[in-house]
Chains A and B, each alone.
Chain A
Amino acid sequence: MVGQWRSTAAAWLVALAPQVFGCDPLDRTEHAARGKGVTVAYSWVSGPPAVGELATLRLRLCDISGAPAGGKLSVDAVMPAHGHGMNYTPPTVEVADEPVAVTGLLFHMPGRWQLRFKLRGDGVTRRAHADFLLAH
């Protein structure tokens, strides 16, 4: 009897607990870039990027159902107000179920940058982007 009550309580607790759905950020260090058909959850490896320092992103990708999305991922960044991008091209990575790391990002000026994610697979290209402010 007691065991059955415990099982029921545990089931209710699980049901009421906040759910992390697909690529919803796991914590405050992770951010989401939502695009058409793809959401990219990303966080900076070794802390937020600094101007002029090589930066690496850790990424999870989900489709609209929240399931992992796969394909060839390329990451770029631009400064919309300045009309230029980075001076470096991060290598394209193959994404499947597991999180991936993308390195080769270097932001050479302070200001507003826009990260641009492009996922190609199954004959379609899906894009997402996210803005962030880089201080001096």
Chain B
Amino acid sequence: MRTDDLLTGCARLRTWCVLIGLLFSLPVGADPLVTLSTAERAVIAAHAGWPAPWQPDDSNRVSGDPLAAAVGAALFFDKAVSAGGDMACSTCHRPDRWFTDGRRRAQGRQLLKRNTPTVVDSRWQRWFGWGGAHDSLWSQSLRALTAPDEMGASAADVAAYLRRDQQLSCGLAQAFDTSLADADDEALLVMAGKALAAYQESIVTRPSPFDRFAAAVIAGDVSAMQAYPPGALAGLKLFVGRGRCSVCHLGPRFTNDEFADVAVPYFVDGGVDKGRFAGIRAVRDNPYNRLGVFSDADADSQRSALTQFVARQGRNFGEFRVPSLRNVTRTAPYMHDGSLKTLAEVVEHYSELNEERLHASGAQLLRALRLDDRQKNELLAFLRSLTSDLVESPDHDGLLAARCPP
């Protein structure tokens, strides 16, 4: 080979190297596979798979039953079930507001100390309420029905309401396969709670743009991946990388179903909100928990074991439930006390986190992220990509009317 041939070959090689280099430095949206590390792909895959698998709640024998859900739907929207006949579950859990109320703090019969959480996708939750004071959706529903500062109904009120309403009585009797004639007030109250839970379990969401992206990552489908906004992808990389958000907001639901202190003040009017610390005591003492006589769960139920073994520790003071981030754009305001009005404020909170506010004996996990404006916007773009629509609701009214004509 001549020297000039060699030089020409080297020059061609350099050109190819430059071209390949250019290809790898293309904007993010060009080929997302190129910009994702193996570790990032693994974590993204761990968030994939929506809707997540679901098993009916074994503590509620009508969980997943369509007729029970139809009765629950009727109860959910009926103000007559409350003490003053002026408040339904849907007063705070408004369908037009993604089953929240849009208020900073919930307004029951008086102003409550916490923000109203959504009931959308609640079928997958392990603990209910910001402090996890309930271990089932039916138990949580009973609290809202009967707490004096919420709907304020007594067992006798609820039982009388059900006995008066022939259609609901019929629906409950069929769903529970029992006669209501011998059921006492408390038994009827529990049936109402379980029917309400069956309805709320039916409110679930479709896959989001993130889910389509995650499925494409797993399949290695580059063209499907390219439909995901580049800004959202950059935000996702922050979320699973430097931000370490996915340490707690993990899995397809973007939550570990546990509790954390994230430096949100827990001082409320007239004292402190003890959060999970009080929640554990409340769930243990609750006669309507999964271990009580009203639970339909077997003694060896895996889910009930968690109620049995949950540990009350000093660090639980001021911890609150790690919420799912699915459709988080729809549930403002944020945090247990509704103190952050917008999602941008939430991102700002984690960016400039006041570490001195963290519980001294808590997890040494959170650090101020010190994000610049571009990174904050990318994180917001990612969170927006978790937005989806509701799965179309079954015809609850039609089913109830068919089984129990009014």
Contact = CB atoms under 8 A, between A and B. Distances in A.
Label chain A's interface by main secondary structure: loop
Contacts of A110: 247, 250
Contact of B250 (A52, A82, A88, A104): A52
B204 interface: no
A54 interface: yes
A5 B264 CA distance: 80
A108 B365 contact: no
B364 interface: yes
Contacts of B362: 83-84
Of the listed residues B251, B302, B311, the one surrounded by the most CB atoms of chain A closer than 10 A to its CB is B311
Contact of B306 (A54, A91, A109): A54
Interface in A34-88: 51-52, 54, 79, 81-84, 86-88
B311 A136 contact: no
Nearest to B364: A83
Contact of A52 (B256, B308, B315, B364): B256
Given A54-B306, A135-B42, A136-B46, A87 B259 contact: yes
B263 interface: no
B311 A86 contact: yes
A91 B364 contact: no
B257 A88 contact: no
Nearest to A106: B306
Contacts of B328: none
Contacts of B247: 109-111
A40 to B, nearest CB: 20
A89 interface: yes
Interface in B249-267: 250-251, 256-259
A114 interface: no
A135 B305 CA distance: 24
A54 B42 contact: no
A105 to B, nearest CB: 9
A22 interface: no
B246 A136 contact: yes
B353 interface: no
Contact of B256 (A51, A81, A82, A88): A51
Given A54-B306, A136-B46, A87 B250 contact: no
A87 to B, nearest CB: 6
A89 B309 contact: yes
Given A83-B364, A136-B250, A104 B309 contact: yes
A84 B260 CA distance: 11
Contacts of A25: none
Contacts of A54: 302, 305-306
Interface string B160-191: 00000000000000000000000000000000
B401 interface: no
Interface residues of A, number: 23
B311 A82 contact: no
A91 B42 contact: no
Given A82-B364, A104-B305, A52 B310 contact: no
Contacts of A82: 363-365
Nearest to B247: A109
A117 B258 CA distance: 24
B248, B259, B305, B364, most chain A CB atoms within 10 A = B305
B326 to A, nearest CB: 16
B297 interface: no
Nearest to B46: A136
A77 to B, nearest CB: 12
B309 A90 contact: yes
Nearest to A53: B302
B349 to A, nearest CB: 20
A130 to B, nearest CB: 21
A106 B406 CA distance: 48
A71 B321 CA distance: 37
B43 interface: yes
Contacts of A52: 250-251, 256-258
Contacts of B246: 136
B127 to A, nearest CB: 10
Given A51-B251, A84-B362, A87-B311, 12 more contacts: A52-B250, A52-B256, A54-B305, A83-B362, A84-B364, A86-B311, A88-B306, A88-B311, A110-B250, A111-B247, A135-B42, A135-B46
Interface of B: 42-43, 46, 246-248, 250-251, 256-259, 302, 305-306, 308-311, 313, 315, 362-365
* Complex A-B, nearest 5 residue pairs according to Cβ-Cβ distance, in ascending order: A136-B46, A104-B309, A83-B364, A89-B311, A88-B309
28 contacts: A51-B250, A52-B258, A82-B363, A83-B362, A83-B363, A83-B364, A84-B315, A84-B362, A84-B363, A87-B259, A88-B306, A88-B310, A88-B311, A89-B309, A89-B310, A89-B311, A90-B309, A91-B309, A106-B306, A108-B256, A108-B257, A108-B258, A109-B256, A110-B247, A111-B247, A135-B42, A136-B43, A136-B246
